[in-house]
Structure 1
Amino acid sequence: MSPRRYELSDFEWSIIEPLLPNKPRGVPRADDRKVLNGIYWRLRTGSPWADIPERYGPATTCYNRFVRWRKLGVWDRIFDAVSAAYDGDLQMIDSSSIRVHQHAANVKRGDVIKKGALRRRTPPLGTSLTPDAWGARGAD
């Protein structure tokens, strides 16, 4: 399988592989790297779990492993290790890949939903609301 644009690099995989839970007995697990790439594909696209491409293995495997590792705290360890390997430069959330629920789409910036009602945020106490207080010029 040739590497794709957003899949794990060999460097990232070398950091992540030792952090993954090891289950030596029973049925051998599906390839962890392939499943991780499937999980990352799903999180990046926002698609349903069932739409994960076949090259990443069964969607149920990706989902079950994601949930199981969340409960075990594996994702926190992975994030911390990869972030440390990149000297903290990797800590970011790309909002272009985060989907908002349809009911939140109409909320304007600055509005806060509180007990079902939209309320305008107020500035901190002691903040002046006159234009000259924040450097605006008056109309001449």
Structure 2
Amino acid sequence: MAAPGTLLDAVVVGAGQAGLSASHHLRRLGLRHVVLDAETAPGGAWQHRWDTLTMRDVHGVADLPDSPAPRPGEERANLVVPAWFAAYEREQALPVVRPVRVERVEPADPDDPGGPLRVVAGDRTWTTRTLVNATGTWSRPFVPAYPGARTFRGLQL
């Protein structure tokens, strides 16, 4: 885990399937990063699915890098998938911090809007070169507005 005040290569917001996958690849590339997740436990939106949804009923769960998805069966999806995510976080030694609800992202230096970003969650902050928004769609999806978005000619994912 990065020390406070460290300029990170990336901050990933969300530790669901997309966030865990992003973290895996950032780690593989040797990039200093952290994953901030609002939940109190691993599992993303899966831990909130209804108890009657079984793995057989799920219409496909994508593999995580180097970890195949659980097989269809009669087990509850809201138990199986969170357990899989938790094991993946441990086995991959991913730098997930929770519970952290990101409140805003802003330039670290207001005079340098193209420079590093400050990610703010309560009284905690992280400074990063890159932000990966992997919050998913479960709880109020949000596409942030940022200065220069209309004229930005690059690819925003």
| TM-score (norm: length of structure 2) | 0.25
The answer to which structure has the higher helix fraction is 1
Structure with the greater alpha carbon radius of gyration: 1
Q: Which has the higher strand share?
A: 2
If asked which structure has higher relative contact order (CA below 8 Å, sep 6+), I would say 2
